[in-house]
Structure 1
Amino acid sequence: MLCSVGHVYGQTNLFDTPHRSSYAQHLYNNGLYELAIPEYLQVLQTDTSRQNMLLLMQCYRFAHQAPKAKQWADRHFKHKPMPHPICNEYAIGLAETGLYDTLAAAHFWANPADTSATNQLKISGLLFKEQYQKAQQQAATKAAFAPYQAIAAEGLRLKSKKVWVARGLSVLVPGAGKVYAGQWKDGLITLVTVGVMGWQAQRGFAAKGTRSIYGWITGTMGFGYYLGGIYGAGRAARVRNARLHQPIKEKTLQILREKIEVRP
C-alpha cells in the first residue's frame, strides 16, 4: 500500500503550467484554436509572458472570436500600456471586427513615437471607412505608403449607389429604387405586387365604397408592400455598396497583416 501511494504521488503533474503550455502549443500548431483558448487562459494565471498572451489573442482571432480577444485585452491592459507585439495583434483584431475608429485613433500603440506605424493605422482606418480622398492625401506624404495610395485611387474609381436616391425613386415608382441598386427582379416584383394590390383595392372601393372590406384589406397590404419597398431599396443600395467596397477592405487588411502581424 505504501509503495502504491508513493508511486501515485511520484507521478508527473500533467496539469502544471509547463505541461498546460505545451499542450496549448500543440493545439495551436494543429489548428485547434477553440480548444487552445481555455488552456492558454489557465496558463496565463501563472505565466503572463508576452508570447502566451499573443498566442491567446491569435487563437481568439483564428477561431473567429476576435471581439473576445479585444475584451480580454481591454480588461488585462486597462491600467497599463499594451506591449509589443500584443498591440499588433490587437490592431488586426480591430480591423477584422470593423472597429475602424479605434484603429485610426492608435491610442493603444506600444510606441506612440513611431509615427510611421501610427500613420499606417490611421490610413488603414480611413480606407476601411471608405474615406479614400483623405487616405490618398495622407498616403502621399511618404513613399512607404505607396500601396495604400494605390488602394485609395482604386476606391475613388468605384461608383457607389446613394441610399437616398434609391429610396426617392421607390417613393415615385414602386420598385424603381431596387432597380437602381441592381436588383432588377426584386424591383419588378415590387412594382407588379403594389400595382395589383392597388388595382384590387380600387375595384373593391368602386363596388362598395369605403365599406368594402376587400378594398381595405388589399389597399392596406399594397401600402405596406409599398413602404417595405422604400426601405428595401435603401437596404439594397447599402448591400451593393458593401459588396463593391469589400475588395478594398480585403486588400487593406492584407497589407496590414503583412506589415504588423507577428507569429510566435
Structure 2
Amino acid sequence: MLRLFSGYSRVESTESFAFTSLNPFQEIRKSWAVLCLFLLSFIPDSSAQNLYDYQHSLIYGNYLLNTRQYTLATEEFERLLFMNPANDTLKQKLVRSYLFDGSYQSAIRRTDSLFQNRAAIPQPIALDYSRALILGGMHFMANQFLEESKTISEKDRVFLILNNQLLAYNWKDAENTYNSMLASGQSVDMRYKTLFQDMNNARYKRPGLALGMSAILPGSGKIYTGEWKDGLVSLLFVTGSVIQAIRGHQLYGEKSAFFIAYTGLATTFYLGNLYGSFKSARKHNDKIRHQLHRRMADTFTGTF
C-alpha cells in the first residue's frame, strides 16, 4: 500500500512539473503580444482625417449657407474667422449668414466690429451691411452709410436709397426716387412698378369724414370704414339710450333719475361712437399701410 501510494505521488508530481514547466513560455508569448500592441498604438493612421480642420470646416460652412441653415452657418463662419481673421470672404459670408437668418442687429454689430473704417468696407459686405441697416429699421444710419461709402456703386446706392425710403414710410420721396431712376434709364424690378401702382390705388378712409358721418347718423362712420357690425351696434346703443331718455323725460320729468341716467348713457354712447368712427378709419388706413410695408420688405429681400 505504501509503495503504491508512493508511486502515485511520484507520478502526480511529475505531471505537475511538466505543467508548470510550460508556463514561462506562455508568459513570454503573452508579453510579446502586449508589447506589439503597445507599439502599434503609436503608429499614425495615414487614412485618418481631421474633420474639424480649416478646409473641412470651410466646406461645411458653405454647405450650411447654401442649404439655408443660416443659424448654424453663422456659428461655423465665426469659428472659421477665428482661425483666419484677415479673410474678407469669410467676413462676407458671416455677415450674409446673419442677414439671411434675419439677425439684422447681429449683422450690423459684427460688421462694425470687423471694420474700423466704414467708408472702406468691401463692396459685397457693404451691400449686405446696408441691407441689414434698412431691414433692421436703422434708416438714419443707412442714409449716413450710403452717403459715406466709397465702395458702393452709384446704381446700387440709388436702389438702396429707394428701399430705405420705402421701409421708412417716406413714400412720396420714394416715388420721386423711383421716377428719377426710370428717367435715367436705370432698370428696376417690375415688382416695384406693381407696388407703386397699388400704393397709389390704395383705398384709404378719411377719419374726418367718418367722424362727420357718425355725428349725423351714429354708426355710419364705422360702416363707411368697413366695420358694419360695430356700426350697427353703435346705432342700436345710441338710438336705444336716446329713446329711453326721451321716455323718461315724458314720464318722470327732467329731474328724474331715470331721465338723468339715460341721458348720461346716450351722451356716452354718442361720444364713443364719434371716437370709434375716427379710430376705425385710422385703423383701416394703418392696416393698408402695414400690408404695403410688408410687401415692400418682401420685394426688397427678393432682390438679393
Aligned with 1:60 (options 88, 95, 98):
98
Preserved contact between residue 136 and residue 153 of structure 1 (Cα < 8 Å)? no
- 2:176 corresponds to 1:134: yes
The SS at the match of 2:235 is: helix
> TM-score scaled to structure 1, two decimals?
0.68
- 2:62 corresponds to 1:25: yes
- Tell me how far apart the structure 2 counterparts of residues 40 and 224 of structure 1 sit (CA, whole Å): 57
Aligned with 2:278 (options 230, 233, 256):
230
Deviates more, 1:170-179 or 1:45-54: 170-179
The SS at the match of 1:44 is: helix
Preserved contact between residue 136 and residue 148 of structure 1 (Cα < 8 Å)? no
- 2:238 corresponds to 1:198: yes
CA RMSD of aligned residues (A): 4.2
Aligned to 2:207: 166
User: Which ranges of structure 2 fall in alignment gaps of 5 or more residues?
Assistant: 1-36, 249-255
Higher relative contact order (CA 8 A, sep 6+): 1
The SS at the match of 1:89 is: helix
User: Which ranges of structure 1 fall in alignment gaps of 5 or more residues?
Assistant: none
Write the letter of the residue equivalent to 1:155: F
Aligned with 1:35 (options 67, 72, 81):
72
Preserved contact between residue 24 and residue 39 of structure 1 (Cα < 8 Å)? yes
Identical columns (%): 15
Residue 24 of structure 1 deviates from its aligned partner by: 2.0
Preserved contact between residue 207 and residue 279 of structure 2 (Cα < 8 Å)? no
Residue 248 of structure 1 deviates from its aligned partner by: 6.1
- Tell me how far apart the structure 2 counterparts of residues 58 and 117 of structure 1 sit (CA, whole Å): 17
- 2:116 corresponds to 1:74: no
Preserved contact between residue 190 and residue 226 of structure 1 (Cα < 8 Å)? no
- In the alignment of these two chains, the number of paired residues is 248
- Tell me how far apart the structure 1 counterparts of residues 266 and 57 of structure 2 sit (CA, whole Å): 67
Write the letter of the residue equivalent to 1:64: G
Aligned to 1:88: 127
Distance 1:22 1:245, change over 3 A: closer
Preserved contact between residue 192 and residue 299 of structure 2 (Cα < 8 Å)? yes
Preserved contact between residue 54 and residue 85 of structure 1 (Cα < 8 Å)? yes
Residue 216 of structure 1 deviates from its aligned partner by: 6.0
Preserved contact between residue 237 and residue 269 of structure 2 (Cα < 8 Å)? yes
> TM-score scaled to structure 2, two decimals?
0.61
Distance 1:141 1:79, change over 3 A: same
* Bigger-Rg structure (1/2): 2
Distance 1:127 1:27, change over 3 A: closer
